[in-house]
Structure 1
Amino acid sequence: MQDFIKRYPGTAQTAPSVDSGFPWWLQLQHFLNMLFMMFIIRAGIQILADHPRLYWNRDCTPGTEWFRFQHPVPQGRIWTAKDDAVTLPSWLGIPGLRHTIGLARWWHFSIDLLWVLNGVAFYIMIFATDQWLRLVPVTWDVIPNALSTAIQYASLNFPTESSWTRYNGLQQLSYFVTVFIAAPVSITTGLLQSPAISNRLGLLGSVLNRQVARSVHFISFTWFVFFILAHGIMVFITGLRENTNHMFAGVKSPGWVGFPFFVLALVLVGLAWWAASPFTIRHARLVQKTGRIMVGWIKGLSEWWEPTAELSEADISPHFWPNGTMPNSAEYEHLVSCKFSDYRLRVGGMVESPHEFSLADLKAMRKQQQITTHFCIQGWSGVAEWGGVKMSDILDMVKPMPGARYTVFYSLAEGSDGGCYYDVHEIFNMRHRLSILAYEMNGEPLSVLHGAPLRLRCENELGFKMVKWISAIEFVSDFKDLGAGQGGYNEDHEFYGYRMPI
């Protein structure tokens, strides 16, 4: 062992040195990365808490998860996806209350954007200078040197540090994995959980389906948490003075010049950690609007990407999670009792030819069947075969006026806080080939639990946008006077976004 450590002291002797130290831009990006990751991790935990189960299979059947922090799904009662959400303490999640995924997603995606921009700038700067040599191994000696470093750390006989010019093998490998593997994997698997992206990628979206992407995303998350904890501990035990001088002052000095800046950085991150949840709860609408400004335009662009992915009967899920507040009115009970023979779908607003359709009228029109994946905002997914009328055919019949921009779907059900459930879509999104009004599910009439007599299927949007138990459709020029003016019931009450293809 002594001969091995002597031959491989920890730092590859053939690796080139870095002569530029730790420049100011690297110090700034290091701090920003530390700050951004705090928000990303906390918001990510909050998102996971809304469906606290992970699967390798697409259909999210209870009992098939490989990881969960929730009890098994109870038997003998309807257990919705919303019932399955768990509560987090406010110091851990953002904002920490139960089922606050709308606000958590704004934090997660908005800070993700800043993190990605910071990362792109970091990539450009390190490869424009000699800093890349610090992170990218250029000799296979890095592997035995990394093993030697691990052995020396474990024995508490630490290797000689020369991080001002070269990282040791273990540092270099761990930084390389974090910067060039874990970060791109996190970004890619995050995007693959999007219906607009996954339902456009064909075989890739099928193989790396949402649940596979979600599980890999979680694994990359655990790597970041492990790296941050290990990195923080090593800063203290391998030489706090030298390490803080390097990264927070950019100097190689025997003094403590970098330590005050290190303390200031910790205080700023600590204050942000402490303030994040109270600020979010107190200013929830501001968080929603800020998130919409930062990333809403990206969501809007992805709506134009028409979904094309269709699956086979073999892919149909044995379990399809129920969700939403069921209709509870005399009107709906009457419709159920008469098997929806008295049901009428009213289509009006800014149209040239208002229509009223019975269920029989809709079934007499051209029927489209499609087997597609449902993406719930909470994280679960499921595959079903849907049969119904193309929304483009409805549009052709009613002829929206030139000033109409939005399609509003009203439900026979109330939202969770009372009041009519509704949601808004851009008209162009209703012309996509897979946007339909479904009255069948898996070859059978749509069940009451899943939206009978009629529900929307719009395969580039998250599930809450696909209104169930539809009572009416209205075409409008603006939605600012509907509800709280945010574009839908969950947008009004739970701070979702009205454009949610990601």
Structure 2
Amino acid sequence: MTTTKKLAKVSKNKPTKLAAIVVAAVLALLVVVLVAQWMRTLPAVQCFMADYPGHTELPAGAPTGLPAWLGWQHFLNAFFILLIIRSGWQVRTITRPKANWTRNNKGLIRTKNPPSKISLDLWFHLTMDALWVLNGIVFMVLLMATGQWMRIVPTSWDIIPNALSAALQYASLSWPTENGWLNYNALQVLAYFTTVYIAAPLALATGLRMSGAWPKNAVKLNKVYPIELARAIHFPVMLYFVFFIIVHVTLVLATGALRNLNHMYASRDDGSWVGFWIFAASLAVMIAAWFLARPLFLRPVASLTGKVSR
């Protein structure tokens, strides 16, 4: 069989495999819903859900509502992580980059050895990483200073049974009654805690190990923390962020879109359209950035700090 015929056969099989995956996923979700609805008819499960309704009480002194700074932090985090995922996927999949970048060995960053050449995609990925980390530091400081951390950090062990209860309610399509302005349900708390305090630090630690900034001659340190371990963790962390974004956006829109968007973008607890229009504007900015993040537009920016070449 010729190469052309093989490629044609592979391309024909792709839609079939994708359709099979979609059908299998839909059937699996249907089974989950039916099983969850059946479980909720059991007396023991009903007693469990009565004892653990799906949310825990916040600590004394926890703030009410979402401040304005959390709205613009939410946008910046979403903006940077979107471009990080895009550029990271390009670094992982593109074997022949359209352009490369070499750092100018002057100014604040100077090294004895000449800078190494990297792809323009990797330069963009590292640049977005740096901005995301800087924004994350501001985010963490504000969380601690305003007490908002108490809304996303588990403070009692009953978070676990309450999270199981909330998960069962979601799975049965009888979603938990909630008001994110006052208190997140237990499953949300665990998801936000995992994202902010586990996934984000893991992304930073593994990305730093894989970057050129890591000391290559630190033999003992490299033995304790091999680059293979960082690579094995970094990609699954990216997949976690993709999964979190999909689920997060879906539930925001499906559980009272206007009120949720007002919480997140307008710092108000009502059903007006203010938050929606702010969200729409931020979405337009992210879509524009997605399409502008290509060599034609990245070259002029990258050339400010290094040499761009083929």
- Please indicate, yes or no, whether the TM-score normalized by the shorter chain is above 0.5: yes
Structure 1: distance between partners of 2:58 and 2:126: 42
- Which of 68, 76, 80 is the matching residue for 1:24? 68
Alpha carbons 2:99, 2:120 under 8 Å: kept: no
Cα distance, 1:15 vs structure 2: 4.7
The equivalent of 1:133 in structure 2 is 150
Alpha carbons 1:198, 1:206 under 8 Å: kept: no
Alpha carbons 1:11, 1:142 under 8 Å: kept: yes
Matches within 5 A, 1:80-479: 85=95, 102-194=119-211, 197-277=214-294, 280=295, 282-290=296-304, 292=305
Question: What secondary structure does 2:299 align onto?
Answer: helix
TM-score calculated relative to the size of structure 1 = 0.47
Structure 1: distance between partners of 2:276 and 2:64: 21
1:227 corresponds to which letter in structure 2?
Answer: F
1:170 corresponds to which letter in structure 2?
Answer: L
1:134 corresponds to which letter in structure 2?
Answer: R
The equivalent of 1:3 in structure 2 is 47
The equivalent of 1:82 in structure 2 is none
Cα distance, 1:102 vs structure 2: 1.0
Cα distance, 1:201 vs structure 2: 3.8
The equivalent of 2:82 in structure 1 is 38
Alpha carbons 2:53, 2:162 under 8 Å: kept: yes
Give CA deviations for 1:143-173 in whole Å, capped at 9, x if unaligned. 1111111110000001011211211111111
Cα distance, 1:203 vs structure 2: 3.1
RMSD: 2.2
Cα distance, 1:178 vs structure 2: 0.6
Question: What secondary structure does 1:21 align onto?
Answer: coil
2:152 corresponds to which letter in structure 1?
Answer: L
TM-score calculated relative to the size of structure 2 = 0.75
1:35 corresponds to which letter in structure 2?
Answer: F
Alpha carbons 1:18, 1:166 under 8 Å: kept: no
Say yes or no: does 1:47 pair with 2:77: no
Cα distance, 1:240 vs structure 2: 0.5
Q: Higher Cα Rg: structure 1 or 2?
A: 1
Question: What secondary structure does 1:9 align onto?
Answer: coil
The alpha-carbon distance between structure 1 residues 271 and 194, as it changes in their structure 2 partners (threshold 3 A), is closer
The alpha-carbon distance between structure 1 residues 150 and 15, as it changes in their structure 2 partners (threshold 3 A), is farther
Say yes or no: does 1:492 pair with 2:296: no
Alpha carbons 2:58, 2:150 under 8 Å: kept: no
Structure 1: distance between partners of 2:206 and 2:63: 36
Q: Which has the higher strand share?
A: 1
Structure 2: distance between partners of 1:258 and 1:153: 25
Structure 1: distance between partners of 2:143 and 2:260: 19
Structure 2: distance between partners of 1:42 and 1:275: 12
Question: What secondary structure does 1:119 align onto?
Answer: helix
1:123 corresponds to which letter in structure 2?
Answer: M
The equivalent of 1:481 in structure 2 is none
Question: What secondary structure does 1:158 align onto?
Answer: coil
Alpha carbons 1:164, 1:246 under 8 Å: kept: yes
Give CA deviations for 1:389-444 in whole Å, capped at 9, x if unaligned. xxxxxxxxxxxxxxxxxxxxxxxxxxxxxxxxxxxxxxxxxxxxxxxxxxxxxxxx
Give CA deviations for 1:53-108 in whole Å, capped at 9, x if unaligned. xxxxxxxxxxxxxxxxxxxxxxxxxxxxxxxx37xxxxxxxxx8699961111111
More displaced 10-residue stretch of structure 1: 268-277 or 32-41: 268-277
2:48 corresponds to which letter in structure 1?
Answer: F
Structure 2: distance between partners of 1:7 and 1:14: 17
Cα distance, 1:200 vs structure 2: 4.2
Count of residue pairs brought into register by the alignment: 250
The alpha-carbon distance between structure 1 residues 197 and 151, as it changes in their structure 2 partners (threshold 3 A), is same
Alpha carbons 1:164, 1:252 under 8 Å: kept: yes
Alpha carbons 1:135, 1:175 under 8 Å: kept: yes
Structure 2: distance between partners of 1:188 and 1:139: 28
Question: What secondary structure does 1:4 align onto?
Answer: helix
The alpha-carbon distance between structure 1 residues 163 and 47, as it changes in their structure 2 partners (threshold 3 A), is same
Alpha carbons 1:17, 1:166 under 8 Å: kept: no
The equivalent of 1:372 in structure 2 is none
Alpha carbons 1:18, 1:164 under 8 Å: kept: no
Alpha carbons 2:199, 2:237 under 8 Å: kept: yes
Cα distance, 1:6 vs structure 2: 1.2
Structure 1: distance between partners of 2:213 and 2:282: 38
1:38 corresponds to which letter in structure 2?
Answer: L
Structure 1: distance between partners of 2:267 and 2:124: 31
Structure 1: distance between partners of 2:213 and 2:77: 28
Misfit runs of 4+, over 4 Å: 14-17, 96-101
Structure 2: distance between partners of 1:23 and 1:6: 32
The alpha-carbon distance between structure 1 residues 169 and 231, as it changes in their structure 2 partners (threshold 3 A), is same
Structure 2: distance between partners of 1:164 and 1:187: 30
**What percent identity do the matched residue pairs reach?**
42
The equivalent of 1:367 in structure 2 is none
2:88 corresponds to which letter in structure 1?
Answer: G
Question: What secondary structure does 1:192 align onto?
Answer: helix
Gaps of 5+ in 2: 1-44, 102-117
Alpha carbons 1:244, 1:259 under 8 Å: kept: yes
